[in-house]
Chains A and B, each alone.
Chain A
Amino acid sequence: MGEPAPQLAVSDLVLVDRESGRVLLDHVSLELPAGRHVGTIGPSGAGKTLLARSLIGLLPPGVEVKGGQIRSPVTGSGEDAAPAGRRLASMVPQTPANALPPTVPALRLVTDVLHWSRGYEPGAARATATELLDEVGIHAESYYKRPHQLSGGMAMRVAIAAALATRPWFLVLDEPSSGLDPIVRRKLADLLLSVADQASITLVVVTHDLWMVNHLCERVIAVEQGRVAADGDPSQLASTRIGRIAREHSEVARQMSSRAAASSAEHHDAEPVLTFEGVSVDYTAPGSVRRKVRALSDVSLALRAGQSVGVIGPSGAGKSTLALTAAGLLRPAMGAVIRNPTRPPHTHGRRANDYGVRMVFQNPFATINPRYTVGRWLEKAISRDRRDGDLYHSVVELLQMVDLPDAVRHARPAQLSGGQCQRAVIAACLASGADVLVMDEPVSMLDPVARDEVIAVLRELRQRQRWSYLLVSHDILSIMQLCEFLVVLDRGCVVECGPLDRIVACPQRDITRRLMEAYYAPTRHHAATSGSHEKTCSGDSSGNDR
């Protein structure tokens, strides 16, 4: 390298929220020397992102340093300055499409960064920018696209190219795999490793995604309640709660991939509660009044009572459209969706348009009206035929059924954790007499601990309530834990459909195979220690590090 490697450091740092006085980081001391990729994991709100931001001196407004010191050179308070010619750190935020300038095309953005941060002449900046964009997989046809014209994965790549243009020692990535399908996630992880190795960049990854951490990082810092709970290489986390969860996930995936397709036939005789008959859904094309874009094309499937169907597919395949159409929030352009024919509206205390289909959305905080306490919201959700009893005790009972304490009744959504909030939403599904739950990425916003709590509640209630699930997710593991049937969507069409264990063990279509391969791909550390394993249709699989 030829340049002295700097380090990011904080000592005894105490950060507080200026308005509420709440302690956000509590006496944290940490040193990150350049050279070892680092992952920070922990529950939502634990202070992972704040720790990463404080290391690079990028504190958000409203946060105050109450004690200790940020010793990274970027703040100017360190003893040594950042070495010349390279920036100390760059950051790629969680939703890069929102963070990129909305009117600036990709090529101009990277060119401008090179010009302003490193003083490149326009011609040289443009040439280097094209090289950088090619390096991250953005090719000539996308050079002039603006952020809203890019997919989530492409926007992430452009943001990474812009960050690389500053030639940083450290690249902080906040939830880089959020919302990405397994194929794109795998590609992104490999890309990050390759560019980091080429340019001697140290990655600092803030994530809930244990696969990303295992794949990318040589050092993992677990943050809990504003404190560093564990710090070491990934294997040293085995004794922590997150480490145990990772092992359990790995076990579930391994069992699923080797299980014979035998257990899926038990619901075949049950009556269908949700039927798609040749359903097509169109959206109005952006910038046009009349031109339509087909999001779902001739989809036919049936969900029977007590059955759970998982839906996977690459980004843009039409999964969320399928979920919204199933719930009745989108109207099909062709075909018909038949909901709950045996328990129609007007029965069981339901209103005229209530088919007993409920939806669990990705963002649990936005599902509960922010004006209400959880208790009040649940009271509103309680169906008419259950309103005769004592509402107070009904709410307490509902909360108990989803393992929530009574005190949650008085809390508003913003005062709950993501997992608690999602369980409150499930309690509302119980309250309103749901028969079918359509779930769109219900655990993707949650940390591993909260995620497992929600999955456990869903599994238990499914047994008890005989609920049917239609689960749309990029997270194949949660589908494995909840569903016995799988639908694979690609470009709005059902390309594969059948028992989950059969498809996982022996995918028939190329897109399914690629999704499964990306999901089961060994992390680089695992591959280094045990060698890479090819998954075969005989059901053998190994190497999943979840």
Chain B
Amino acid sequence: MPKAAYAILVSAALLVAAAAVLPAPVPHADRILRPPSGSAVFGTDALGRDVCYRTVLGFGYTFGQAAIVLGASLLIGLIAAVISALKFQRWPDRLIVVFAESLRSYPALLLVLMFAAVGAPPIYLLILYFWIPIWRSFRFELTSQQREPYVLWMRLMGRSGPLVLLTEVFPNVLPRTMPYVVGLLSEVIAAQAAIEFLGFGPDIEQPSLGRILLESGQVGVSASWVWMPSLLVLVITALSVTWVVRRYRRAIKWVPIG
């Protein structure tokens, strides 16, 4: 992968770390809604807080939450896909299919409201939602590869199904499926921001991209310096993820072993 792709990943990680350790911006009553200037590069918001600082922390928080969601979804999706592949079209696979399909049939907004009603953190909802496409993608790849002659050949040598799946099939499937999983990151970030925008999510003190957009609604469209940076960050993040995925797809080749 090119150095720029690594630079993007490292920058994102640094911003996440910064959001975790830096203190939240302090309100200043004497500099409310000031446009961009030398003292505040992106201006200040309705409470006099530095928009630039808040955007950086907001991105770090939202991105970090999205990364956690994606990681947990990947883990659950992978485990479910391995079970599905090993017991394809038998009851464990059918059970997962029925659960996943019925969950997906509920409108997302309804689930958000249900989660909010019971006070569950929205991150659980996102995990519950995003393991399904990952499971579906891995399940398709794993089951279609299991009929390939190289897999049947290894089974004829007396190797067990799970062993062949993990040592022969999985390494072939992973590079093909990971770009899709990484590509989901922008979708997860957008979903996370949308939930924050609806008012669910972090404490009121914690800056996040969705909350910044929510609060900027109170100051109106004319104070564009308040909402524009967060919106731009969301768009740039989506474009960056797409670009990294494209580069990754181009870069992956079969790495010869031995």
Complex interface: stretch among A21-29, A109-117, A242-250, A350-358: A350-358
Q: Tell me the chain B residues, 148-182 only, with Cβ under 8 Å from chain A.
A: 148-150, 152-160, 168, 171-172
Query: B172 and A373: CB pair below 8 A?
Result: no
- The residue in chain B whose Cβ has the minimal distance to the Cβ of A354 is B158
- The residue in chain B whose Cβ has the minimal distance to the Cβ of A370 is B254
Q: CB-CB < 8 A to A425: which residues of B?
A: 153
Give which listed residue, A327, A353, A376, contacts B158 with CB less than 8 A. A353
Interface residues of chain A: helix, strand, loop or mixed (majority)? loop
Query: B157 and A361: CB pair below 8 A?
Result: no
Q: Tell me the chain A residues, 350-389 only, with Cβ under 8 Å from chain B.
A: 350-354, 357-359, 361, 363, 366-373, 375-376, 379, 381
Q: CB-CB < 8 A to B258: which residues of A?
A: 372-373, 375-376, 379
The answer to whether A90 has its CB under 8 Å from any CB of chain B is: no
Query: A370 and B172: CB pair below 8 A?
Result: yes
Q: List 16 A-B contacts (CB under 8 A).
A: A329-B152, A357-B156, A358-B153, A358-B156, A359-B156, A366-B149, A370-B172, A372-B257, A373-B257, A373-B258, A375-B258, A376-B256, A376-B257, A379-B258, A412-B256, A432-B157
The answer to whether A328 has its CB under 8 Å from any CB of chain B is: yes
Residue in A353, A358, A410 whose Cβ sees the most chain B Cβ within 10 Å:
A353
The answer to whether A68 has its CB under 8 Å from any CB of chain B is: no
Q: A407-428 toward B: CB 8 Å interface, digit per residue (1/0)?
A: 0001010000000000001001
Q: Tell me the chain A residues, 426-443 only, with Cβ under 8 Å from chain B.
A: 428, 432
Q: B123-145 toward A: CB 8 Å interface, digit per residue (1/0)?
A: 00000000000000000000000
- The residue in chain B whose Cβ has the minimal distance to the Cβ of A425 is B153
Residue in B153, B159, B168, B255 whose Cβ sees the most chain A Cβ within 10 Å:
B153
Closest A-B pairs by Cβ, 10 of them: A376-B258, A354-B158, A351-B158, A361-B149, A353-B158, A367-B149, A369-B150, A366-B149, A373-B256, A376-B257
Query: B157 and A368: CB pair below 8 A?
Result: no
- Shortest Cβ gap from A363 to chain B (Å): 6
Q: CB-CB < 8 A to A368: which residues of B?
A: 150
Query: Knowing A369-B150, A371-B172 touch, does A328 contact B254 (C-beta < 8 A)?
Result: no
Complex Cα gap A410–B168 (Å): 19
- Shortest Cβ gap from B45 to chain A (Å): 51
Query: Knowing A371-B257, A376-B257, A379-B258 touch, does A366 contact B157 (C-beta < 8 A)?
Result: no
Q: CB-CB < 8 A to B153: which residues of A?
A: 358-359, 361, 367, 425, 428
Q: Tell me the chain B residues, 94-151 only, with Cβ under 8 Å from chain A.
A: 148-150
- Shortest Cβ gap from B98 to chain A (Å): 14
The answer to whether A345 has its CB under 8 Å from any CB of chain B is: yes
Complex Cα gap A359–B156 (Å): 8
- Apart from A353-B159, A412-B256, A425-B153, list 13 A-B contacts with CB within 8 A: A329-B156, A358-B153, A359-B152, A361-B149, A369-B150, A369-B172, A370-B254, A371-B254, A372-B256, A373-B256, A373-B257, A376-B257, A410-B256
Complex Cα gap A351–B158 (Å): 5
Query: B254 and A351: CB pair below 8 A?
Result: no
Q: CB-CB < 8 A to A359: which residues of B?
A: 149, 152-153, 156
Query: A328 and B156: CB pair below 8 A?
Result: yes
- The residue in chain B whose Cβ has the minimal distance to the Cβ of A381 is B157
Complex Cα gap A376–B254 (Å): 14
Q: CB-CB < 8 A to B152: which residues of A?
A: 327, 329, 359, 361
Q: CB-CB < 8 A to B157: which residues of A?
A: 351, 354, 358, 381, 432
Interface residues, chain B, CB within 8 Å of chain A?
148-150, 152-160, 168, 171-172, 254-258
- The residue in chain B whose Cβ has the minimal distance to the Cβ of A434 is B156
Complex Cα gap A412–B257 (Å): 10
Residue in B156, B171, B256, B257 whose Cβ sees the most chain A Cβ within 10 Å:
B156
Query: B158 and A345: CB pair below 8 A?
Result: yes
- Shortest Cβ gap from B249 to chain A (Å): 14
- Shortest Cβ gap from A520 to chain B (Å): 32
- Shortest Cβ gap from A284 to chain B (Å): 9
Q: CB-CB < 8 A to A432: which residues of B?
A: 157
Complex Cα gap A358–B153 (Å): 7
Complex Cα gap A345–B257 (Å): 29
Give which listed residue, A345, A357, A371, contacts B171 with CB less than 8 A. A371
Complex Cα gap A432–B172 (Å): 23
Q: CB-CB < 8 A to A358: which residues of B?
A: 153, 156-157
Q: CB-CB < 8 A to A357: which residues of B?
A: 156
Query: A363 and B257: CB pair below 8 A?
Result: no
- The residue in chain B whose Cβ has the minimal distance to the Cβ of A375 is B258
- Shortest Cβ gap from B207 to chain A (Å): 45
- Shortest Cβ gap from A366 to chain B (Å): 5
Q: CB-CB < 8 A to A379: which residues of B?
A: 258
Q: A317-328 toward B: CB 8 Å interface, digit per residue (1/0)?
A: 000000000011
Query: B168 and A369: CB pair below 8 A?
Result: yes
Complex Cα gap A351–B163 (Å): 13
Complex Cα gap A421–B153 (Å): 14
Q: CB-CB < 8 A to A352: which residues of B?
A: 158
Query: Knowing A371-B172, A371-B257, A373-B258 touch, does A363 contact B158 (C-beta < 8 A)?
Result: no
Query: B156 and A366: CB pair below 8 A?
Result: no
- The residue in chain B whose Cβ has the minimal distance to the Cβ of A413 is B150
Q: CB-CB < 8 A to B256: which residues of A?
A: 371-373, 376, 410, 412
- Shortest Cβ gap from B218 to chain A (Å): 53
- Shortest Cβ gap from B173 to chain A (Å): 11
Give which listed residue, A354, A369, A373, A375, contacts B156 with CB less than 8 A. A354
Complex Cα gap A379–B158 (Å): 16
Give which listed residue, A329, A369, A372, A381, contacts B155 with CB less than 8 A. A329
- Shortest Cβ gap from B183 to chain A (Å): 23
- The residue in chain B whose Cβ has the minimal distance to the Cβ of A395 is B258
- The residue in chain B whose Cβ has the minimal distance to the Cβ of A391 is B258
- Shortest Cβ gap from A288 to chain B (Å): 13
